[in-house]
Amino acid sequence: MKKYLAIAFLLLFSSMASAQTDVISRVEVLGLKNVKEKDVLSAIVSKKQHIYTEETVRDDARAILELGYFEDLEYKFNPRDGVLTFTVAEKPYIEKMDFKGNKQISRGKLRRESSLKEKQFFDSAKLEETKLKIFELYADEGYSGIELEVYPITDDKTNKMSINFLITENNKITIAKIEINGLKSFNNRTIIRQMKNTRIKKPFKPEGFRTDLKTIETFYVNNGFMDYSFIGSSITYNDERTLMTITLDIDEGPRYKIGGITASGYEALQEKTIKDAFKLRKGRIFKQDELIETMQGLYESYSDIGYLNANINPEFKKDAENGIVDINFAILENTRVYVGNIYIDGLYSTKDKVIRREISLKNGDPLSASKVRLSMQKIYNLGFIEGVEPKLIPVSQDTMDLEFNVTEGRPGMISAGAGYSSVDSFVASLQFQYLNLFGLGQRVNLLGEFGQIRQNYQIDWTEPWIFGQNAALTLSLYNVDRIRDYAGYSSVYDEKRIGSSVRIAPRLSDTFSVSLGYSFENVNIRLRDGADGRAVALFNAATDISKDNISSILASIAYDTRDYYFDPSKGQRESLSFQVASKYLGGDRDFIKTRFRSSWFFPTFWKFVLSFNLNLGEVEGYNGQDVPINEYYYIGGVDTVRGYKYNTNIGNTGGARYMAVFNVEYKFPIYAEKNRTILQGAFFYDIGGSWKYLSDVDLTLATRDPDSENPSNKDRLRHGVGFGIRFATPMFPLRLDWGYGLNRSRDDARTSEFYFTIGSMF
């Protein structure tokens, strides 16, 4: 027994002794000359009093090398004294770099473009990069024949280096001629026109030349030459080495037309969907771009139904002798991917449900790429979200979690300001808007406007999901006092409107919505003291001084595919609305007002957007009643045909039952922030007219004769052009427009109008 206890004691003592020698007593770094030891020690995990492990020290060695200061490293641990030693071989430290012989390119530019820098450690790969960059810089200036020598000198004691670059610039060389061997279907000039960077009488640029070779290849494969190949190139110089001739050797190969186009291996998509994606057509010349577009369309169709891992491989069967190629798209659908959990990250004031209810996917749905994009658009259209980033998180072979990382913007603001428009002259305003009340996505708007011609007080509140259902509820109260012009005369009558409305707007789908509502308003019309006598006579002959209660039902239907409601770049919006006022609803007036609006948005290039808008309106009384003066249509001004005064220059200035307006705008960005355009410019063209009776409708352009000499002009169309500035505030857009009337009457004192207003035109 004692024997066994002695053995156990010896084993325990031996283990303890071994453990003691595995403790690091000191870490030292040998071989340092220009690197401080503390910089190395701060990069490693092994420290004094730490247990030594081989794995940790190997990681430490890797971390030291990644500092970029050393060419080589060895490490050693002495178990007897616990010292861990790293022995390093430092890279030379670049103390000075100089350039000699350079005349065409400054020393400062050469230093800036160099990958090697003074006060850094030498790297052979960066030296090669620097040499290549010097050759490219000179080639861009036309000196493609330079000679470059590099002389690095290292002081062995200090390990500090100086590098001298000796440049022999030689003559400037320009391209004298470009020859292409192997041409059969095109002439030399046609191919040279494809070369945008390599031009006769211009310097030779190697990078541009490589780009041009790819451009020539693209030209050929988009003109049926599927087997085109670039064989090689050569450059010759004149005796003075000032001119070069570039020779390209190519093999065009046969030109192919498309024979059969088929697809195989598909089950999830209908044959019609597959064929609709085909941009290639039988009998046409093969084009590589159309092949790529076809494959992109097929991938999009599959990603829309959850087949994110589908593989599409085009197979070609070529008949070179007859120039025919049959194409089969071999499809491997792989596994369908479904949505797992949906996470929303980044919210700090908004309730989770406000974002979640805008997501067009739910757990268990096929993971549709188009529905992910649609969800992003709907979240942006809340108005208070600055960024949405989707992220797919693989869970299994057929399931991915979906995460939306949301960046909230400012949901509300108080603004005060003043503006001028030709309709309302100078107006001061105070407005409070909040788009995310209580974090529930509710919108509230309080507006007060104060001016000589208009005073307006308005309250709007919207709950976008009333009782948790996909329908918006909007309540409005307003009190508007306005001085109105009539029949071309200024400040003829006062219009006071006090009213309220309630609307509920169910969303039938992501694109269709309807709206039903009720409004009641009290309208008081009275002539102004001092109004022009001729205007008063016209007014009294056409309408009555009245104080009416107008009770009406409101209804509309809309189709909307715009990508971003506040500043669309693509999509369309069609809407048809009705207002039916009736004595049976407790009012004093009977009329029906109908309005149709169609707006289209087309991206052109970069962020330039071309938009079109058509606005048609009709209003008619019934039960023997005429239309109230305040419900007529009036054309001209900031929201219809710019370049003309509101209710003065266009159509029946006493009010019209029919109106038509067409607008074209071309918007372009001026300043953007956080991927959102803040300041835009716009050019526009407007044309429109208004008519008292349907028989008056005249779709010809008015002349510029004075109205007194050509009375029929009042029923003809007026048009105008102009430009404007759009400024996107956090809550609403501001518009500043200048319009020029192209066919205002010659007796008009003004030919243009200036407008400042809040809100988008369409």
User: The domain that contains 510 carries what CATH number?
Assistant: 2.40.160.50
Q: Which residue has the higher pLDDT, 436 or 757?
A: 436
Of 618, 596, 634, 340, the C-alpha closest to 488 is 634
Give the separation between CA 477 and CA 501, rounded to whole angstroms.
7
Note the pLDDT tens digit of each residue in 688-733.
Answer: 999 988 888 989 888 876 544 455 677 889 999 999 998 876 555 6
Say yes or no to pLDDT of 438 above 70: yes
In the predicted model, what is the mean pLDDT of residues 184-191? Answer: 92
Residue 416's pLDDT band (cuts 50, 70, 90): low
**375-386 exposure pattern, b = at least 16 Cβ within 10 A, e = fewer:** bbbbbbebbbbe
Domain boundary among 359, 377, 408: 408
Please report whether residue 750 resides in a domain: no
- Which range has the worst mean pLDDT, 575-579, 663-667, 672-676? 672-676
At 544 the pLDDT is 65
Same domain, 491 and 575: yes
101-156: per-residue pLDDT in tens? 999 999 999 999 999 999 999 998 999 999 999 998 888 888 888 899 999 999 98
Query: Averaged over 289-307, what is the pLDDT?
Result: 94
Amino acid in the structure at residue 45: V
Cα distances (Å, whole numbers) of residue 336 to 344, 373, 393, 397: 24, 19, 15, 9
- For residue 48, tell me if it sits in a domain: yes
Instruction: Look at residue 4 in the predicted model and tell me its pLDDT.
Output: 42
Residue 74 pLDDT > 50 = yes
Residues 43, 129 share a domain: no
pTM, entire model: 0.68
When the pLDDT of each residue in the chain is averaged and rounded to a whole number, the result is 87
**For residue 713, what pLDDT is reported?**
72
**pLDDT at residue number 638:** 81
User: Who's near 227: CB < 8 A, 6+ residues apart?
Assistant: 251, 253, 254, 318, 320
Residue 488 sits in the same domain as residue 587: yes
Do 592 and 501 lie in one domain? The reply is yes
Residue 374 tokens, joined:
């649609």
Task: Give residue 85's domain range.
Answer: 21-90
At residue 336, the pLDDT reads: 94
Nearest C-alpha neighbor of 741 from the set 635, 600, 613: 635
The answer to whether the beta carbons of residues 496 and 484 sit under 8 Å apart is no
Work out the pLDDT band at 2, boundaries 50, 70, 90: very low
- What pLDDT does 746 receive? 65
Residue 732 counted as domain residue: no
Mean pLDDT of the region 467-496: 87
Instruction: Look at residue 730 in the predicted model and tell me its pLDDT.
Output: 52
What are the contacts of 410-413 at 24+ separation with CB within 8 A? Answer: 410/384, 410/730, 411/349, 411/384, 411/435, 411/436, 412/436, 412/731, 413/729, 413/730, 413/731
Task: Compute the average pLDDT of residues 227-235.
Answer: 94
Average pLDDT over residues 391-399: 92
Q: What percent of the chain has pLDDT over 90?
A: 59
The DSSP annotation for 485-497 comes to: EETTEEEEEEEEE
370 and 392 inside one domain? yes
Q: Which of 332, 366, 385 is the last residue of a domain?
A: 332
525-529, 550-554, 744-748: the lowest-pLDDT one: 744-748
DSSP characters for 672-705?
EETTEEEEEEEEEEEEEEEESSGGG---SBP-SS
pLDDT of the residue at 245: 94
Task: Let me know whether 180 and 229 are in one domain.
Answer: yes
581-618 as b/e: b if 16+ CB within 10 A: bbeebebbbbbbbebebbbbbeeeeeeebebebbbbbb
At residue 413, the pLDDT reads: 67
Scan for tokens 């908004």, then name that residue. Answer: 350
- pLDDT, residue 219, reads 95
The confidence score (pLDDT) of residue 11 equals: 44
629: amino acid identity, one letter? I
Residue-level pLDDT at 8? 44
pLDDT value of residue 15: 44
Q: What is the dihedral sign for C-alpha 133, 137, 143, 146?
A: negative
Pairing of strands 243-251, 174-181: parallel
Among 200, 223, 251, give the residue marking a domain's end: 251
Are both 513 and 589 inside the same structural domain? Answer: yes
Whether pLDDT at 427 is above 80: no
How much is the pLDDT for 596?
A: 97
Q: What is the pLDDT of residues 241-258, one digit of tens each?
A: 889 999 999 999 999 999
Give the model's pLDDT for residue 437.
87
Neighbouring residues of 474: CB distance < 8 A, sequence distance ≥ 6: 460, 461, 462, 501, 502, 503, 504, 505, 517
Residue 729: the pLDDT is 62
- Average of pLDDT values for 172-198? 92
Q: Is residue 103 part of a domain?
A: yes
pLDDT of residue 281: 92
Residue 415 in tokens = 């603004």
Considering the domain architecture, whether residues 592 and 516 belong to the same structural domain is answered as: yes
Same domain as 594, residue 503: yes
| DSSP 8-state class, residue 507 | B
Most confident of 321-325, 420-424, 447-451: 321-325
* Confidence band of 577 (pLDDT split at 50, 70, 90): very high
The pLDDT, as a whole number, for residue 450 is 80
Into how many domains does the chain fold? Answer: 6
586 in the same domain as 483 = yes
Q: Residue 230: phi, psi to the nearest 5?
A: -95, 120
pLDDT above 70 covers what percent of the chain?
91
Q: How confident is the model at residue 14 (pLDDT cuts 50, 70, 90)?
A: very low
* CATH number reported for the structural domain that contains residue 37 in this entry: 3.10.20.310
Q: Tell whether 47 and 74 lie within a shared domain.
A: yes
Predicted confidence at residue 17, as pLDDT, reads 43
> Is residue 292 assigned to a domain?
yes
- Assess whether pLDDT exceeds 90 at residue 386: no
519's tokens: 């409004």
Look at residue 51 and tell me if it is in a domain: yes
Residue 350 lies in a domain: yes
Mark whether 489 and 594 lie in a shared domain.
Answer: yes
- Give the pLDDT score at 532: 81
pLDDT: is 452 or 479 the higher one? 479
Q: How confident is the model at residue 759 (pLDDT cuts 50, 70, 90)?
A: low
Q: Please, which pLDDT band fits residue 515 given cuts at 50, 70 and 90? A: very high
- Give the model confidence (pLDDT) of 327-377 as tens digits: 999 999 999 999 999 999 999 899 999 999 999 999 999 999 999 999 998
Give the pLDDT of residue 583.
94
- Would you give the distance in Å from CA 120 to the centre of its chain? 41
What is the per-residue pLDDT for 286? 95
Interval 517-540: pLDDT, tens = 999 999 998 888 878 878 777 777
pLDDT for position 368? 92
- Checking if the pLDDT of 285 tops 70, the result is yes
Characterize the bridge pairing of strands 676-691 and 399-408: unpaired
pLDDT at 306: 92
Helix 206-221 to helix 124-140 angle (10° resolution) is 80
Q: How far apart are CA 617 and CA 596, in angstroms?
A: 6
Tell me if 474 is assigned to some domain: yes
